[in-house]
Structure 1
Amino acid sequence: MTNKINIAVIGVGRWGVHLLRNFLAHPQVNVVAVVDPHPERLAAIKQQFNLDENVLLTTQWQYLKTVPGLTGVAIATPATTHYAFIKDALQQGYHVLAEKPLTLNPAECRELCNLAEQHHLILMVDHTYLFHPAVERGKIVVQAGKLGDLRYGYATRTHLGPVRQDVDALWDLAIHDIAIFNAWLDQIPVKVQATGTVWLQGAGEQGEMREPITIYSPSSSSSSSSSSSPSSQGLADLVWLTLTYPDGFQAYIHLCWLNPDKQRRLGIVGSLGSLIFDEMSLSSPLTLLNGEFEQQGNQFIPVNQRQIVLELETGEPLQRVCSCFVVSILNNTPSKVSSGWVGTELVEILAALTVSLQQDGKPIFLDP
């Protein structure tokens, strides 16, 4: 007999609605509640998914405490609310799947990870790309030495919106590519640098544009502020990053949500070729470009050039995230791919990048 767990989805905006869709389709899940501050959204998802009358639809987080047998919650709310929501959920005994970033403050992340361990609960972060078949296959290729000696990496993540009002382009976009580089290299950066430009939401402007969240918060107190708050100088629309890893490998990342040239492209260059993950290419998202130089006198001649489109497993990455969360709960075993501690490492990197951004690109060193 299949064990089923009861899950509530908190926030059914642009991303949360996909979490809801996947959990509704999961054979080992009962979606028992949905929380969102907008009644019209609740009405829309009730109709869209033909939700059973027994599913609690509410604008109030506190009402979840009246739901019997609630096992876990999936949180897809503004990043500024994560700390308070996750802490309250863990204290209530719920397993938590949180949208990235885990919080905006590394100290808070560590506190939440320790709290989850103390209560023997799963804390997992939805770093969706770590479950993408192309990223999984890419890690195998890199770790197998197919690229030869690794030389450098690069990534571009640009599009025209959506423009966030709770975090800047660094916190909204960079975490994806940093997570992929960390996974492929099996390393964490030791030095980071960031520069950026603010056009749309200068310091003191973005607050008026934010979505009201007062009725949404699990308590009247908000998350503690951090010296690395991403909004202290306005919300950067364009960001350039440099990550330096322990072995000297460097990755360069270009991020912008104010560019209609939509790109989702990441590559690693080695002495024997390059591995390219191009999410916008439906026919060949992961490509191995072989090629190297043969020296003839003082000339360097390209040789062994060929292009290999790598075959990938099928499956929606977010569906894999949701399934991993369910399996982790049923087995009481944290995810090795995207645990709270993995999320904490990424927030520590983003916090260091924010300090660099605020200091015009000053190199910031991270503890190994």
Structure 2
Amino acid sequence: MGEDVKKTGIVILGVGRWGVHWVRNFFHHPQAELLAIVDLSAQRLAECREKFHLDETKVVLAKDWEAVRQLKGIDAVVMATPASTHYPLIADALRLGYHVLAEKPLTLDPSECLELTRLAQQQQRQLLVDHTYLFHPAVERGRQVARSQQLGELRYGYASRTHLGPVRQDVDALWDLAIHDIAIFNDWLGQIPTQVQARGSVWLQEGLPDLVWATLIYPNGFQANLHLCWLNPDKQRRLCLVGTQGSLIFDEMNLQAPLMLQHGYFQKQGEGFIPVGQSSEVLEIEAAEPLKKVCDRFLQMIRSQETCSLSSGWVGAQLVQVLSCLSLSLQRQGEIIFVPQLHQ
């Protein structure tokens, strides 16, 4: 690598619970130069300054986007503000000629997601959405297994994402939690649901379900069931794909063996069925921080001018479309909703 290669100038909007991790990754990244941090909270800005020993003559700390939007040297913007604010901010950044890395969901409206995707194409700028799990080493390895026929004919899937908080006040448990598992199932199956169904229960805040049971129905008939709850002390981050020859299990809470292949199938014997070939296989995965991989990919995209089909604006739009349809089903007490096909 030549010493004269210009670092990518980065501005980060939003340094809440997750935004701080963007600061950590880009501040220490050898190919990036952190130019500014924007947040409405003076306390959060001060905490960032102290935590990372920021020199304010080199890193601008500002309370709004207007103060930094035309700062010299900006190449890219990281959008870590609430999803409801994404559309105007991302559109403005793209029109100014900046590449954008946005937290999920891209927006709360699939049509807005499509508009931003098209705008990025028109501006010849990169738009990457942080669906972090798609960059998780276990999910990457799982993708290979799911598409390799090792599981036999795929039958169904299920996922549980529960914990005691954090309880959101701006969105329900569906919008807060479901996107991760939908993204993984879509990725592993290489398909998008054509029908969805959701039911929920409300205990803490009127109008915001704390518990959601969701079903995704794919074009080939495969179904995945999701259990989503932020009112359950039993913390689970578990997803399973079941086939005729075995099951693939991604259990994030199992630190020793996060990805396992459970072999086993039935053999007909007379009028009954005998389980055979049963064994457990711990799958090796790369040791890497998913968020760092997202940052690496974003910087690589900017340098190569090659888009990332894995987590593009188009993928973001598809996921928001599925969530919107699940929301509608939730409102209609579990009615099955057909997912309209989006067109790029």
Query: After TM superposition, is the score higher than 0.5?
Result: yes
Q: Report the more deviating stretch, 57-66 or 307-316.
A: 57-66
Query: Do the aligned partners of 2:136 and 2:289 also contact (CA within 8 Å) in 1?
Result: yes
Specify which of 241, 246, 251 is matched with residue 268 of structure 1.
Answer: 241
SS at match of 2:248: strand
Match of 1:289 in 2: 262
Query: Do the aligned partners of 1:76 and 1:99 also contact (CA within 8 Å) in 2?
Result: yes
Aligned partner letter, 1:200: L
Q: CA deviation at 1:3?
A: 3.0
Match of 1:212 in 2: none
Q: CA deviation at 1:52?
A: 2.1
Query: Do the aligned partners of 2:69 and 2:93 also contact (CA within 8 Å) in 1?
Result: no
TM-score, scaled relative to structure 1: 0.90
Deviations 1:129-177 (A, max 9, x none): 0000000000100100000010000000001111112211111110000
- The aligned runs of 1:248-327 (5 Å cut-off) are 248-327=221-300
Query: Do the aligned partners of 1:264 and 1:279 also contact (CA within 8 Å) in 2?
Result: yes
Query: Do the aligned partners of 1:80 and 1:166 also contact (CA within 8 Å) in 2?
Result: no
Query: How far apart, in 2, do the equivalents of 1:335 and 1:163 lie?
Result: 32
Query: Do the aligned partners of 2:100 and 2:126 also contact (CA within 8 Å) in 1?
Result: yes
Structure 1 runs not aligned, ≥5 long: 203-233
Specify which of 37, 40, 43 is matched with residue 37 of structure 1.
Answer: 40
Deviations 1:284-321 (A, max 9, x none): 00000000111111121110000000000111000000
Query: Which 4+ runs in 1 deviate beyond 4 A?
Result: none
Match of 1:104 in 2: 108
Q: CA deviation at 1:9?
A: 0.7
Query: For this pair of structures, how many residues does the alignment match?
Result: 337
Structure 2 runs not aligned, ≥5 long: none
Match of 1:89 in 2: 93
Identical aligned residues as a percent: 60
Deviations 1:208-267 (A, max 9, x none): xxxxxxxxxxxxxxxxxxxxxxxxxx2211111000001000000000011111000000
Match of 1:214 in 2: none
- Greater RCO, CA 8 A, separation 6+: 1
Match of 1:215 in 2: none
Match of 2:62 in 1: 58
Query: Do the aligned partners of 2:102 and 2:130 also contact (CA within 8 Å) in 1?
Result: yes
Query: How far apart, in 1, do the equivalents of 2:170 and 2:86 lie?
Result: 11
Match of 2:82 in 1: 78
Query: How far apart, in 2, do the equivalents of 1:103 and 1:338 lie?
Result: 14
Deviations 1:68-125 (A, max 9, x none): 0101111111111111211111122111111100000111111111111111111110
TM-score, scaled relative to structure 2: 0.96
Q: Does 1:167 align with 2:171?
A: yes
- The aligned runs of 1:1-368 (5 Å cut-off) are 1=2, 2-53=5-56, 54-202=58-206, 234-368=207-341
SS at match of 1:337: helix
**RMSD value, Cα:** 0.9
Q: CA deviation at 1:27?
A: 0.9
Query: How far apart, in 2, do the equivalents of 1:133 and 1:3 lie?
Result: 29
Q: Report the more deviating stretch, 278-287 or 324-333.
A: 324-333
Query: Do the aligned partners of 1:78 and 1:166 also contact (CA within 8 Å) in 2?
Result: no
